[in-house]
A and B are shown apart, each in its own frame.
Chain A
Amino acid sequence: MKETPLSNCERRFLLRAIEEKKRLDGRQTYDYRSIRVSFGTDYGCCVVELGKTRVLGQVSCELVSPKLNRATEGILFFNLELSQMAAPAFEPGRQSDLLVKLNRLLERCLRNSKCIDTESLCVVAGEKVWQIRVDLHLLNHDGNIIDAASIAAIVALCHFRRPDVSVQGDEVTLYAPEERDPVPLSIHHMPICVSFAFFQQGMYLLVDPNEREERVMDGLLVIAMNKHREICTIQSSGGIMLLKDQVLRCSKIAGVKVAEITELIQKALENDQKVRKEGGKFGFAESIANQRITAFKMEKAPVDTSDVEEKAEEIMAEAEPPPEVIAEPVLWTPGTAQIGEGVENTWGVLEDSEKEGEDEGGSDEAVLPDDVKMDTAEVSNVGSQDAPIVLSDSEEEEMIILEPDKNPKKIRTQIVSAKQEKAPSKKPARKRKKKRIVN
């Protein structure tokens, strides 16, 4: 489905509103939309909501052999997917420019900033290291994907626990979660992306643009920063020229925002940890708000299955016994077999020309099972070489079976078209086989 274009009056309206320092959702220039972080039941699974933008993050790990030039380092892999669920314009399985850009930015923000200690992911140098895979799925697109995705990625990485391993000599033991508590990844710092949208050649600036604002913006500046106010990545796109003090001002704002977000993330992580420790309820079922009328929950429901056996017996008793099966295949020629008694086919009528064709067919005719083959094609000049084949009905499907004989022949089977099926004359027809000798 194509994206609905933004009309000129909508565009003008949005730009006018921005000029008057107003935003459609009532936010101030530097306001973020509300951020909500919820965790799944398994480790490394989280959903981040940034306003209506929603990203699902899941971290998984695997033992692999390391890259040749990095023998003592684990591998980090990021994969952001723009699911069609998020917006109808996203096509599944297509690498759009936007997707490539976002994935690259995420990699730069999280891998190149060395926020994860990759050396601690090494099990046996040069042989076995952990590969950490971060899957991010965009579930709903309402602008500012990169901020939501970067928060989801770092939250999922912080939440993730990998299985414990021990090395004794050259023996590597992997412990199940029941045997030994899984260990968290060692994370040095938490880089978080903050986006700034610029309008009217950099005259106006907005933090955390929503989807509508993204559509009318001239340029975008993304700053990835950690809470120590260290810039991890900075990217300006859209081709606007920014002044030095504009960038400096943005970095100051980013510092404040990152501090707020980091605090929120840490609070959410602590909360989840506490609930898990105390053995309370956790998971997505708990994060559904009860007071919403769109949400509904049902307790564990016992199902009365006492009468199941009687019901089944009843049905079994009523059912007709299966017909007796004649399970002796008759082998007429190599490569063919017939199951059943070879009852004559009563479908359609055999025409004279077909009979002739059949006679010409030769002595070593293959017998095809009647219930499989139903052919009533009118093939002219059957038997002659390289003759053009005229089909009576173009709608028919044809199937060519090549026989592994020393005399290769083509057997043309055709499905009766509905028209022919309804043919009024129903003479007791006979077995029909057709075949064209190619050579």
Chain B
Amino acid sequence: MERAIQADAKVYSEAGTESSPRGSGCSLRHFACEQNLLSRPDGSASFLQGDTSVLAGVYGPAEVKVSKEIFNKATLEVILRPKIGLPGVAEKSRERLIRNTCEAVVLGALHPRTSITVVLQVVSDAGSLLACCLNAACMALVDAGVPMRALFCGVTCALDSDGTLVLDPTAKQEKEARAVLTFALDSVEQKLLMSTTKGLYSDAELQQCLAAAQAASQHVFRFYRESLQRRYSKS
């Protein structure tokens, strides 16, 4: 607890002024997470990575529509809502990626013929949106108490035109990058759950990005653990 307060006392120097370039490419932006902030959903979490912010709400295990019922496991649904306008193809494809990741870790067989709905709302997009969506979804699932075989996190890597690796890129870095790779990793063995890439890269670079993502995932999981520790602490 003491440690957490210490961390609070320090300055988050980059809030709101993210246009300033970050020193080294291989660092994660500041993270913040708030769980259980909505009263209606069974579990909710707001996850911030730098200025990127996603709000997630989870309903479930709950009643399922007969048309969507699966007899031996829970029906997992992911809804991603953009901030402006109506959801389009990009949102549908992200929804699918997130759903597949969640399905890999959620123990749906424990709740057959129910529905687990994850609703994600983009609050602000400043790069690494998919990774932030994944992290928010994981924290909301944890808050809802949905049984999972492991936690998962999303990490985005960007490769510059000169091949330098940037972790957790901002929107500007993503735009200038030659390739943007997003991975979802599990917390037990840091195995790959999902990967989606955009742009041109060699197979050596892919392995490098994956190794860097695995290193970064350790930090994210530590963040998860500390935030849950704080939440369930007695003091």
Contact = CB atoms under 8 A, between A and B. Distances in A.
A227 interface: no
B204 A316 contact: yes
A9 interface: no
Interface in B160-177: 165, 167
A297 interface: yes
Contact of A296 (B33, B51, B165, B205): B33
Contacts of A307: 211
Contacts of A41: 16, 18, 51, 124, 126
B83 A142 contact: no
Given A45-B124, A311-B207, A85 B41 contact: yes
Nearest to A58: B83
A302 interface: yes
A298 B119 contact: no
A1 B16 contact: no
Contacts of B53: 40, 283-285
B179 interface: no
A83 B208 CA distance: 39
Contacts of B10: 299
Interface stretch (B56-64, B105-113, B146-154, B180-188): B56-64
B198 interface: no
Given A83-B121, A299-B10, A54 B38 contact: yes
Interface string A279-315: 1111111101010111111111111110111011101
Contacts of A335: none
Interface string B202-235: 0111011011100110010001001100110100
B123 A40 contact: yes
Given A41-B124, A301-B219, A281 B16 contact: yes
A81 interface: yes
B114 to A, nearest CB: 10
A282 B48 CA distance: 13
Contacts of B12: 281, 285-286, 297, 299
A52 interface: yes
A83 B62 CA distance: 17
Interface in B20-36: 22, 24, 26-36
B67 interface: no
A92 B34 CA distance: 25
A290 B32 CA distance: 10
A60 B121 CA distance: 17
B55 interface: yes
Contacts of A141: 40
A133 interface: yes
B38 A85 contact: yes
B28 A140 contact: no
Given A52-B39, A296-B32, A84 B84 contact: no
A91 to B, nearest CB: 10
B231 to A, nearest CB: 5
Nearest to B24: A302
A88 interface: yes
A153 to B, nearest CB: 14
A300 B17 CA distance: 14
B207 A316 contact: yes
Contacts of A135: 83-85
Nearest to A286: B15
B7 interface: yes
A145 interface: no
B27 A288 contact: no
B35 A294 contact: yes
Contact of A298 (B22, B31, B44): B31
B115 A1 contact: yes
B156 interface: no
A365 B136 CA distance: 55
A260 interface: no
A137 interface: yes
B26 A83 contact: no
A308 B15 contact: no
Interface centre among A56, A88, A281 (most CB of B within 10 A): A88
A139 interface: yes
Contact of B26 (A60, A142, A305, A315): A305
A56 B4 contact: no
A280 B13 CA distance: 9
Contacts of A83: 79, 81, 119, 121
Contacts of A290: 8
A285 B212 contact: no
Given A135-B83, A285-B32, A312 B211 contact: yes
A6 to B, nearest CB: 15
B101 interface: no
Contacts of A298: 7, 30-32, 219, 223, 226
B37 interface: yes
Closest 10 CB pairs of A and B: A296-B227, A312-B207, A85-B57, A85-B119, A281-B15, A282-B16, A295-B34, A311-B211, A298-B31, A312-B208
Interface of B: 4, 7-8, 10, 12-18, 22, 24, 26-41, 44, 46, 48, 51, 53, 55, 57, 59, 62-63, 79, 81, 83-85, 115, 117, 119, 121, 123-124, 126, 165, 167, 203-205, 207-208, 210-212, 215-216, 219, 223, 226-227, 230-231, 233
Interface of A: 1-2, 40-42, 45, 47, 52, 54, 56, 58, 60, 81, 83-88, 92, 133, 135, 137, 139-142, 275-276, 279-286, 288, 290, 292-305, 307-309, 311-313, 315-316
Given A285-B15, A308-B212, 14 more contacts: A1-B115, A40-B53, A85-B57, A88-B40, A88-B41, A139-B121, A284-B53, A288-B32, A288-B46, A296-B33, A297-B8, A298-B7, A303-B27, A311-B208
23 contacts: A1-B59, A41-B51, A42-B124, A83-B119, A83-B121, A85-B38, A85-B41, A85-B81, A282-B16, A284-B48, A284-B124, A285-B15, A285-B48, A288-B48, A294-B35, A294-B37, A298-B7, A299-B10, A300-B13, A301-B27, A305-B26, A305-B212, A311-B207
